[in-house]
Amino acid sequence: MTQTEPTSSQQLGHTPRRQQILDIAADLFARRGFHGVSVAELGAACGISGPALYKHFPSKDAVLAEMLVSISERLLAEGSARAEASADPRSAIEALVEWHIEFALGHRALIVVQDRDWSSLPEDARERVRGLQRAYVDVWADQLKRAHHGLRTERAHAMAHAAFGLLNSTPHSALIPDGQMHDLLRRMALAALLPEADR
Amino acid sequence: MTQTEPTSSQQLGHTPRRQQILDIAADLFARRGFHGVSVAELGAACGISGPALYKHFPSKDAVLAEMLVSISERLLAEGSARAEASADPRSAIEALVEWHIEFALGHRALIVVQDRDWSSLPEDARERVRGLQRAYVDVWADQLKRAHHGLRTERAHAMAHAAFGLLNSTPHSALIPDGQMHDLLRRMALAALLPEADR
DNA sequence: GTGTCGGGTTAGCGAGCGCTAACCTACGAG
DNA sequence: CTCGTAGGTTAGCGCTCGCTAACCCGACAC
């Protein structure tokens, strides 16, 4: 229903504009905030002007919604896949950390928008994103509880949130090359998350 | 100049309103973002209505500016004081972590506003806040460099930012009592920041 | 008693916003 | 050849915003 048409040819190829808008919007929203970017500006940045956006999205809110819902889905899908594919809790946590760093380094703008402008979402999309995020946190929390015997659920959630904070700090400091940043974040996150006995 | 009058009786007592506005604004800005709160709303939340705010602040921007400048100053002042009062790098880092957690847990709203609406500041205040934040990061980075021999400056900065991300995650997860959260954050931060040999 | 002034009120301005309406083309299908 | 449609244009509506203007009133100084 939210898609235009689930025809056999998929929606690949007939919407480069749509994707371009999402990409550029992510960048602009990250820099100046959702409310700080007008549709005119966004359009201009895409080479078209103003109201032409409404040929691709029903509203400005919808751009934000699609952006945030889709990244929440990707984070959750790949995260839980990697966790399930792991042999033990320790390697599952390593895999989750690895995946989250990959994503955060590769999509800095989305990370910023996600936790800055989450509250600007229309009610239904906000609900959906919250559900997906909660599920993602649960994936982490489950593995943490298996790695630390006796860890309570709420504390595991808090640990996961803290880890996200650490890993998502990446857009705020682009001072060292991605490879080194990746390595640094992995080290710090694993030190913070794994029991001392393991490390 | 920015103060009304530096009389001998200080400015205590003749500005409960001013402080009230700052407190309530922090709360509202944290919840819905600087651009998401109108001056009318802010006034109403203070028991006065709309333009009465301009008897206390020259503009809406100025409210945000005073809020963010003052917390940046407090973070830096107390942080560098505690670091200097420490005997060795390890205990300096412990002291910094302790101070940052105290502050973050005690002023969740300010933490949120600081890194969400920083970019909405007028140019001069943004400059000032950036300077203060950089100095605060430097305090951390210096101690980290003394604790890890051979650590490069840029990497130390990245570590400090990552630690802030971890410690500032606190407003996103209020699910466990402050005491436990404090303890958890300290453990995770120190594990992430201190060399393995130390811990 | 009167004047000043801090701190409040309402009315309303100009600008910018999201969004709609109406129109214009290029183009692929029949 | 025609015509529907995808994807663009400009004009402009209605609303909200930050902020100013003009006024009001109670407390205190003298």
Please tell me which of the candidates A119, A175, A181 has its beta carbon nearest to residue B32. A119
* Residue B39 resides in a domain: no
Spans in chain A with pLDDT lower than 70: 1-14, 198-199
Distances, alpha carbon B2 to alpha carbons A141, A169, B198, in Å: 48, 34, 47
Give the residue ranges with Cβ < 7 A from strand C. A 35, 37-41, 50-51, 54, 58-61; B 14-15, 17, 43, 48-52, 55-56
Q: Calculate mean pLDDT across residues B52-75.
A: 98
* Residue A53 resides in a domain: no
Predicted local confidence at residue A79, as pLDDT: 98
Tokens of A165: 């904070």
* Residue B80 resides in a domain: yes
Average model confidence (pLDDT) across chain B: 92
Q: CB under 8 Å to A36, separation ≥6 — which residues?
A: B35, B119, B120
Percentage helix, strand, coil, to 5, in chain B? Answer: 75, 0, 25
Residue B58 has pLDDT above 90, yes or no: yes
- The reply to whether residue B158 touches residue A33, judged by beta carbons under 8 angstroms, is no
| More confident call, B66 vs B6 | B66
Predicted local confidence at residue A196, as pLDDT: 79
**Hey, how many other C-beta atoms are within 10 angstroms of the C-beta on A88?**
11
* Residue B12 resides in a domain: no
- Separation in Å: D29 C1' and B74 CA: 39
Nearest Cα residue to B116 out of B51, B20, B35: B35
Q: How confident is the model at residue B49 (pLDDT cuts 50, 70, 90)?
A: confident
Per residue in B170-182, pLDDT (tens digit) is 988 878 999 999 9
Predicted local confidence at residue B131, as pLDDT: 98
Nucleotides of D under 7 A from a protein CB: 6-12, 16-22
Predicted local confidence at residue B13, as pLDDT: 42
Distances, alpha carbon A30 to alpha carbons A40, A74, A110, B81, B92, in Å: 17, 19, 7, 34, 34
Q: How confident is the model at residue B5 (pLDDT cuts 50, 70, 90)?
A: very low
Judged on CB neighbours under 10 Å (0-12, 13-18, 19+), A20 is: middle
Tokens of B20: 């009230």
* Residue B45 resides in a domain: no
Measured between CB atoms, does A174 come within 8 Å of chain B?
Answer: no
Domain housing B144: 61-198
Per residue in A117-130, pLDDT (tens digit) is 999 999 999 999 99
* Residue in B with minimal Cα distance to A120: B32
CATH of the domain at A105: 1.10.357.10
Residues of A with Cβ-Cβ distance to B181 under 8 angstroms: 158
CA distance B11 to chain A (A): 35
3-state SS class at B129: helix
| One-letter-per-residue 3-state SS of A46-87 | CCCCHHHHHHCCCCHHHHHHHHHHHHHHHHHHHHHHHHHCCC
- The reply to whether residue B188 touches residue A159, judged by beta carbons under 8 angstroms, is yes
Residues of A with Cβ-Cβ distance to B64 under 8 angstroms: none
Residue B117 has pLDDT above 70, yes or no: yes
Q: Alpha-carbon distance B41 to B50, whole Å?
A: 7
Per residue in B82-93, pLDDT (tens digit) is 999 999 999 999
* Residue A125 resides in a domain: yes
Q: CB under 8 Å to A51, separation ≥6 — which residues?
A: A39, A43
* Residue B145 resides in a domain: yes
* Residue in B with minimal Cα distance to A162: B166
* Residue B130 resides in a domain: yes
* Residue in A with minimal Cα distance to B197: A199
Per residue in A137-154, pLDDT (tens digit) is 999 999 999 999 999 999
Q: Alpha-carbon distance B43 to B50, whole Å?
A: 5
How many domains are there within chain A? Answer: 1
